[in-house]
Amino acid sequence: MPSAAAAADPVWDTWASVPWTAVNLPEPTSPAGCGTNILGWLKTGVPYLPRGEALSLQTLDLWIPSSATGTGVAPDINSLPAGQPGSVWIIYIHGGAWRDPRITSASFNPAATNLLRALASENSSSSSSSSHCTKLAGLVSLNYRLSPHPSHPSSDPARKAKHPDHISDVLAALSFLSRLGVIPGGANNNNNNNNNNDNSTKWILAGHSCGATLSFQTLMPRYHFLLPLSPPEPLTPAVLPPPSAVVGFNGLYDLAGFIADAPESHAHLRDGYREFTVSAFGGDESVWRAVCPASCEPGWVGKGWLGHGEGAAKIVAVLVQSREDQLVPWQQLERMRDCLEREGPIVQEVRVREARGEHDEIWREGGRMAEVLWEVVEGL
């Protein structure tokens, strides 16, 4: 439960506007020993801007495992059970070329269910003192304003976004989550700023396709996006540590490079890439290069509003790509890997993992996405 002072914060007022709902096991039976079909609890469509100000897509979904409450009863609508020391939050950003209204925060549902199922299975087969029982604090999936889509016209103002609206919304959502205590250093969290502290709640930022772009953009200097130096909510940037890991699934990392010199296997997509890039970022190619993580100026990692400088926590970067991806070539991963390997020492390690299937299969099926994220969580 928040303190009385925190409860007066408009962030908590917004949080309390959405009820908890149960996340049930898809199968009719529970993992052995669980004693319940409830995998966790979910709030869907929580506005991350003050009530009355948020547009339809300025919302997030948040899951906690059933073990967070210790009972089969939903948490109080005003509360967010705190994660155990050393536990990890996963924050996910969906893809869709910055404009596809059919891909939303709900695209994380299959992976979220798989992660909650994996945690329930570990808890049922482990002692209560096992690290598995408390390792995953919760999950978040973000929505953000979208650029217009020619095949899906809309009068919704949330569908008329232009850069930097997309990244601005992501930063606003992270600010909101910090105020809730999900990200260490927020108003409901007494952890210190060192994200390497084993007793501190940690967090992972992950994204698919353009969501991977947005995930890495959070680590860039804010002047890249012509945004104020402070996040939308009045938080001091220094108290917000970087994520322990950033995970990109089938990510877009160098739009200008692809449009100028696409590999033969994907060259037929150049006009389509140019169309959605102009829709999201405008027609200035120098802007495309400046805002994409694999093509912007060197030394960007750790210079974003999430904190940087001597003694800053190290980041693990995980790049996941399918060689069967019909929309994004393996070359995008290679360019991002080369970029990150030059960016040390903030980047502690760059890991490459392979996925299977076409571009959207990894989130539609959810199993491989959950598998990679679980591996990252267990390694922190």
* More confident of the two residues 129 and 365: 365
Respond yes or no: is residue 154 known to be catalytic: no
Using CA atoms, how far residue 126 sits from 65, 86, 238, 376, in Å, is 16, 18, 38, 20
Q: What's the confidence (pLDDT) of residue 236?
A: 39
Residue 248 φ/ψ, nearest 5 degrees: -110, 125
Nearest to 252 by CA among 300, 296, 294, 297: 294
Q: Name the residue range of residue 289's domain.
A: 4-378
Contact call for residues 307 and 195 (beta carbons, < 8 A): no
| The pair of three-digit structure tokens given for residue 245, joined into one six-digit string | 């890991």
Residue 35, Cβ neighbours under 10 Å: how many?
Answer: 10
Per the residue annotation, which of 66, 147, 359, 360 is the catalytic one? 359
Residues 6+ apart with CB under 8 A from 162: 147, 280, 281, 282
Indicate the DSSP class of residue 268: G
Q: For the segment 115-155, what is each residue's pLDDT rounded down to a tens digit?
A: 999 998 887 766 544 444 468 999 999 999 999 999 999 99
Respond yes or no: is residue 325 known to be catalytic: yes
Q: For the segment 27-48, what is each residue's pLDDT rounded down to a tens digit?
A: 655 454 444 589 999 999 999 9
Residue 317 φ/ψ, nearest 5 degrees: -105, 130
Q: Using the predicted structure, report yes or no on whether residue 16 has a pLDDT greater than 90.
A: yes
Q: What's the confidence (pLDDT) of residue 193?
A: 40
Contact call for residues 191 and 184 (beta carbons, < 8 A): yes
Q: For the segment 282-322, what is each residue's pLDDT rounded down to a tens digit?
A: 999 999 999 999 999 888 886 655 555 555 668 999 999 99
CATH number of the domain residue 289 falls in = 3.40.50.1820
Contact call for residues 207 and 95 (beta carbons, < 8 A): yes
Contact call for residues 187 and 181 (beta carbons, < 8 A): yes
Burial of residue 264 (number of CB atoms within 10 Å: 0-12, 13-18, 19+): exposed
Per the residue annotation, which of 209, 244, 279, 295 is the catalytic one? 209
Q: What's the confidence (pLDDT) of residue 188?
A: 47
Q: Using the predicted structure, report yes or no on whether residue 79 has a pLDDT greater than 90.
A: yes
Q: Average of pLDDT values for 85-99? A: 97
Angle at alpha carbon of residue 79, lines to 78 and 83, rounded to 5°: 165
Q: Is residue 280 very low, low, confident or very high in pLDDT (cuts 50, 70, 90)?
A: very high
| The pair of three-digit structure tokens given for residue 204, joined into one six-digit string | 């992972």
With tokens 């980041």, the residue in question is 315
Q: What is the pTM of this model?
A: 0.91
Query: How many whole angstroms separate alpha carbon 240 and alpha carbon 44?
Result: 25
> Which of 111-115, 178-182, 376-380 has maximum average pLDDT?
111-115
Query: How many whole angstroms separate alpha carbon 364 and alpha carbon 219?
Result: 27
As for how many domains the chain has, the answer is 1
Q: Average of pLDDT values for 16-27? A: 90
Q: Average of pLDDT values for 331-357? A: 94
Q: What's the confidence (pLDDT) of residue 10?
A: 85
Q: For the segment 183-240, what is each residue's pLDDT rounded down to a tens digit?
A: 986 544 444 344 445 567 899 999 999 999 999 999 887 777 766 544 444 433 444 6
Q: What's the confidence (pLDDT) of residue 6?
A: 53
Residue 135, Cβ neighbours under 10 Å: how many?
Answer: 21
Q: Using the predicted structure, report yes or no on whether residue 354 has a pLDDT greater than 80.
A: yes
Return the H-helix or E-strand segment holding 172.
helix 165-180
Nearest to 94 by CA among 173, 209, 244: 209
Respond yes or no: is residue 224 known to be catalytic: no
* More confident of the two residues 44 and 343: 44
With tokens 């199993």, the residue in question is 367
Q: For the chain, give the mean pLDDT.
A: 87
Min mean pLDDT across 18-22, 29-33, 240-244, 357-361 is at 29-33
Per the residue annotation, which of 61, 169, 325, 360 is the catalytic one? 325
Q: Using the predicted structure, report yes or no on whether residue 114 has a pLDDT greater than 50.
A: yes
